[in-house]
Structure 1
């Protein structure tokens, strides 16, 4: 029973953990210095995180065989929220471009 609980907990929180990890990594990496390769690494990590969040949205939308449950709605809602948060936090990366 305990294994099932943690599996469901992870399913519901994985998108938000993805967003938090991306957010932490980007701030930590950007704080290390402003170099041309910093922008390329951050862009690559952001595109990978956006792709993973999109996959999580798709998984949440397709959901499962049973009717909508609280877990399914949490998966979909968390995945959409993470996708929007990732896109929003990536705006400065796309707007301002690489460091001079």
Structure 2
């Protein structure tokens, strides 16, 4: 019984953990200094995080079926959509400020 709880908990929170990891990495990396490769690394991390969140959203969308009105399904889908928006929003400084030095 305990295994199912933690598996379901992870399924519901995985998109938000992905966003938080992306956010933490980007700010930590950007704070470490502006180097020539900073923009490319942050862009790569953002594209990877967007792909991961998109995959989680697609997986949640496909996993509907009879349980499409369940709380877990709504948490998975809502969390994935929220993560996509949050990762895209966190990437706005890359587009606005462009490359460093």
Fold match (TM-score > 0.5) = yes
Which residue number corresponds to residue 76 of structure 1? 77
CA distance in 2, matches of 1:61, 1:95: 32
4+ aligned runs moved over 3 Å, structure 1: none
CA RMSD of aligned residues (A): 0.9
> Displacement, 1:95?
2.1
Which residue number corresponds to residue 91 of structure 2? 90
The one-character-per-residue Cα deviations of 1:13-47 (angstroms, maximum 9, x if unpaired) are 00000000000000100011001101111110100
CA distance in 2, matches of 1:54, 1:67: 21
Matched residue SS, 1:99: coil
State the TM-score, normalizing by the size of structure 1. Answer: 0.95
The one-character-per-residue Cα deviations of 1:39-70 (angstroms, maximum 9, x if unpaired) are 11111010000011111110111124433111
Please show how residues 1-100 of structure 1 align to structure 2 within 5 Å. Answer: 1-68=1-68, 69-100=70-101
CA distance in 2, matches of 1:43, 1:19: 14
CA distance in 2, matches of 1:70, 1:36: 45
CA distance in 2, matches of 1:56, 1:95: 27
